Amino acid sequence: MKKTGILNADLSYLVAGLGHKDLVMIGDAGMPIPEGVTIVDMALVPGIPTFKQTLDALLTEMEVEYYFLADEMDDKNPQLKAYVGEKLPGIEHESMPHDALKDFSAQVKFAIRTGEFSPYANVILRAGVVF
């Protein structure tokens, strides 16, 4: 039995298979996932797991070189936007309109659906390398 890190077998497998420049999305409970994108549905009940819990767990096993957020986070969820910045200090990023982020999500290798119920709690992470 695995005793540390991500215990969800599907998610652990997908993270282990990431290559440089692969994209991964962490989405709130309402974020639509484009057809054809692999979904790891972690949502259990409203609020569980949270976006923060999911991001924290993923960052223990994934190197991130860049990330993408929705412009709407500035006004609708500034605390969560600040949290992402704190967890990814010095990492370059960009924001785009939420509809554009939804369209862009068709390029992700997989998406993680959380139980998060706060607005615009979505991020697309681009995998980096550890060397």
93 marked among binding-site residues: no
Q: How many angstroms separate the Cα of 100 from the Cα of each of 18, 45, 52, 106, 123? A: 24, 28, 23, 10, 12
Is 20 annotated in the active site?
yes
Q: Is 122 annotated as a binding residue?
A: yes
Short-list 38, 112, 26, CA closest to 73: 26
The enclosing H or E element of 67 equals strand 64-70
Please tell me the distance from the alpha carbon of residue 102 to that of residue 27, in angstroms, as a whole number.
Answer: 10
Is 16 one of the annotated binding-site residues? Answer: no
Flag whether 74 is marked binding: no
Matching residue, tokens 């957020």: 69
Phi and psi torsions of 17, nearest 5°? -90, 0
Consecutive H or E run containing 38: strand 38-41
Name the catalytic one among 9, 13, 20, 21. 20
Binding site feature residues for substrate = 28, 98, 120-122
Known catalytic residues?
A: 20
Binding site feature residues = 28, 98, 120-122
